[in-house]
Chain A
Amino acid sequence: MKKGFTRLHLITSFLFLYQLAQAQSPSGSGSSNFTMLLLAIVILIAFFIIIRVSDNLVRIEAGKDGADVDDASLTPLPGVRDLFKKSAPTYVKGKYFALKKGHNILLEGSAKGPVVAGNAKTFAIQPPNFRGVSAIPKVEVEVGDTVKAGDHLLFDKKNPDIKYVSPVSGEVIAINRGERRSIASVVVLADKQQQYRKLNVPNPDTCSREELVNFLLDSGGWTLLRHRPFDVVANTNDLPDNIFISTFDTAPLAPDLNVVMEGRGAAFQRGLEVLGKLTKGKVWLGLNANGETPPSSIFTDAKGVSKSWFSGKHPAGNVGVQIHHIAPITTKTTAWTLGVQDVATFGELFTEGRFNAERVVALTGAELKQPRYVRTFIGANIGELLDGNFTNDHVRIISGDVLSGSKTSSESYLNYYDDQVTVVEEGDQFEMFGWLLPDLSTPSASKALPGHRFPDTVYKANTNTHGEKRAFVVTGQYEELLPMDIYPQHLMKAILTNDYEKIEGLGIHELIEEDVALCEFACTSKQPLQQILREGLDMVHEQG
């Protein structure tokens, strides 16, 4: 309201000056009219600059005295940035970030309708899902054992305190091994009626941090905490500077987290409160300011957390991007991140005293007859989840989204942290002059394709690479798609040349694969950016 007023004020004063200029010119001749107009504009700009400079000086002084000047309006005139900034939706209260860079990939087959019960019967914990865990962890159960939900299945010998627990109760039916005897998955056939391991819940408000941590390690709650930099399972002696939770997902076909969280508000709130005890900083909630209506009240009414609002295209919903704008991760700072459903599971450890691995999963993709939301548990069997719902056989099944998910199959299981399955067509066909024809049927972030003029087009994508890998040629492309103060191409080149100092200096700590996934999608040279980034992250992780 106030900004609208000042803008109006500016226009009227401008018109007034123009009138004045016209009145002043003796015979109203064209050229002197023009000169007066120019003069008026110059005076106005000078006036504006003086005000802005003094405003900034006041701001600096006030900042020195410790006043919070971020949102305060000290002068009636809007700032230069305010003039061009998209104004925040009316429901936004608090810190607001309008991110301009990015791109939304709109695909067919988004999940719709109410959440239905999924019919997955087997569930698995897959050690490769946890980065940093050794390939052959110690499995505590044998085939044929019966387990309750929350019973220990395995632990990493390097970090024996972190227990990986069963998402469901039932019988262990398989321990699958991958290459070189590594453990690929421990599979549990679920009971019809779920039984939960009884937990001795300490009171988080009164107990020591050590007690709390020990409880989390034992109950399996610790495995939900992911550590930044590097996106690994948090260390047991970790005291993070901040904890970040993004309450919206902007990835292609991503589930609507408002739908996903329906009915788990109390657990979510409790989870946030307990997380607050585990950090020396704050718990930050990233909220979606893209919609016409505000997000679910579960998020907007959350208490005991700092909320910040983000509007913008993908990857605005990535927690890494949000961290960058709130409290960037450096070589000295760390953060934990969780998904919203992870927070709910975390909270239920305390509200209900059990490890409830319930997940609402979005089954998406144009190759599904009926894309929808299903209620199931962590690590559900993908074939059983999808239930032969395909329109065609020649498909790729992805646990996660099309940008940073992992290729999987009907026999395999949903990854531990994923809440989405995407099915897209395999694109192993030749296309005649595919590089030349103006194509409206394939998504693109480029302005050179006609689709750019129709930003609302919804596409049916396939897995074709649409060209061959080349050396880095085009510049400035990644920067347009990553709303962070980072030079991705320079970082990638630094990783490829093992320039360790530069890798660190250019901010590798702030990134994980999902943040550069959109750049990889758009890359003209078809470079595998996520793979390169992970090599760099591994290198820095090992050395540091």
Chain B
Amino acid sequence: MSSFLDKIKKLEPPKEKRFLHTLYDGFFTFLYVPDHTTKGTGVHILDRMDLKRTMVMVVLALQLCYVFGTYNIGHQHFVALGMHTSFMAGLHLKLAYGLIKLLPIFVVSMVVGLGIEFLYAAKKGHGIEEGYLVTGALIPLIMPPDIPLWILAMSIAFAVILGKEAFGGTGMNVVNIALLSRVFVFFAYPTTISGDQCWVAGLEYAGGKGVGETYGWAQHFFDWIFNGLGWATFGEGGRAIADAFTGATPLGLASQGWEKVTSVYSPMQMFWGAIPGSIGETSKPLIIVGALMLIATGIASWRIMLSCLIGAVFMAMAFNWWGFDAFMNIPWYYHFYMGSFWFAVAFMATDPVTASSTNTGKWIYGFFIGALGIVIRVMNPAYPEGWMLAILFMNVFAPLIDHFVVESNIKRRQKISAAAGN
């Protein structure tokens, strides 16, 4: 073991070559926790917990979403073509197809984001901070499966440079980086990421008629394997879309009432997540498992998650009571079957850097995210889903909430002080 360590240490580039050294340091500290000891001016022993472990916990909590997301990309693709429509049919094809779509997105996310991180770390001459590992794992899950890679790269570069590095790096950003990249795609390329046609991968619409894409070398490579195993194969592709197919997400249909939604998707289907949508946000139970893991390990704040839920329930009930249109009349509990509420609450709202930092503030922050998200979802026809905007909006307000909470602490202390002075 130690000889391996020595070999790696011999590779260390000189400190003058800043970029190379930062790169080396990044990978070295990934492999080994350094031999640093406490300085002797403060505590002498330190907790096992560090930022790397915190971040990897979130990434671990996302793994179920990744697995299901991979499957669901393929599943939606084949359902649209009217093939392998049952859940288990063509499982290997769906996973392979999902992988072909998801892997490039993941790689681009990591290469672009981490690349920028490395550059800035080298420039500033400090170690690489782990923040992007989580952001980079979140971004693929909130993108539509067919997103062009150049748009993805643009959005990540925008988010990381302007959202994070401009503010001073990990821990200093005001808004959630993953959501910033998503909102960039949303507003800069609206035709790519909205409407009913972007949520299912591998469909081409020409002249109003949709056909499946023609498969390329990656599918052919898998076909070669599947052929050998005697399993079903992709074939050449180019199949016409099934007649009954609509690419609309449940939320796209919801403005016409719950009956319209259930005429296409059953509640159980929505709950388990076999519906079109962003890659990782569809399966509610798996997200909840991840959320529970984050709560159990104390990584994410249960206060934010719970207050988001309360806020959303409150607002949905209020709309039920108001009952102005079909969307408002959707029973409040059905709101939690649709859209990305769970993913947003579990993984986006709880980002500790951009959320409120006081416990009281977290309750307020979460409640308003929940309430605002439902308001945007129900009342604004231009945005089918509200969480992205609700969270970004509250990110901006989080420092203000904290300010008032902290001020009240200061006031409390001043009162005690005034009483003691008499």
Contacts and interface: CB of A to CB of B under 8 A. Distances in A.
Interface of A: 105, 241, 252, 327-328, 330-333, 396, 398, 402-407, 422, 424, 426-436, 439, 442-449, 451, 461-468, 470-476, 479, 485-487, 489-490, 502, 505-507, 513, 517, 520-526, 528-531
Mostly, the A contact residues are loop
Contacts of A521: 43, 45-47
Contacts, number: 224
Size range of the chain B interface in the assembly: 35 or more
Interface string B284-322: 000000000000111101000000000000000000000
**Considering the complex of A and B, which 3 residue pairs feature the smallest CB-CB distances, nearest first?**
A467-B50, A407-B40, A471-B171
Which interface residue of B38, B40, B45 has the most chain A CB atoms within 10 A? B45
A431 to B, nearest CB: 4
A333 B420 contact: yes
Nearest to B417: A330
A474 B410 CA distance: 22
Mostly, the B contact residues are loop
B422 to A, nearest CB: 9
B37 A520 contact: no
Contact of A443 (B47, B127, B355): B47
A446 B49 contact: yes
A467 B31 contact: no
Contact of A432 (B32, B356, B409, B414): B32
Contacts of A475: 301, 352, 355-358
A317 to B, nearest CB: 17
Interface of B: 1, 5, 29, 31-54, 56-57, 127, 129-131, 168-172, 296-299, 301, 352-353, 355-359, 362, 402, 406, 409-410, 412-414, 416-417, 420-421
A476 to B, nearest CB: 6
B44 A330 contact: no
17 contacts: A332-B420, A332-B421, A402-B44, A442-B48, A444-B48, A462-B45, A464-B46, A468-B34, A473-B171, A474-B51, A502-B406, A502-B410, A505-B409, A517-B42, A521-B43, A521-B46, A528-B39
Contact of B52 (A105, A241, A467, A476): A467
Contact of B31 (A396, A427, A433, A463): A433
Contact of A531 (B1, B41, B172, B412): B41
Contacts of B36: 428, 464-465, 468
Contacts of B171: 470-473, 525
Contact of B33 (A327, A466, A473): A466
Contact of A524 (B5, B41, B51, B420): B51
A476 B359 contact: yes
Which interface residue of A422, A430, A463, A525 has the most chain B CB atoms within 10 A? A430
B174 to A, nearest CB: 14
Contacts of A435: 33, 50, 52-53, 56
Nearest to A439: B48
B406 A487 contact: yes
Contacts of B45: 105, 252, 402-403, 424, 443, 461-463, 521
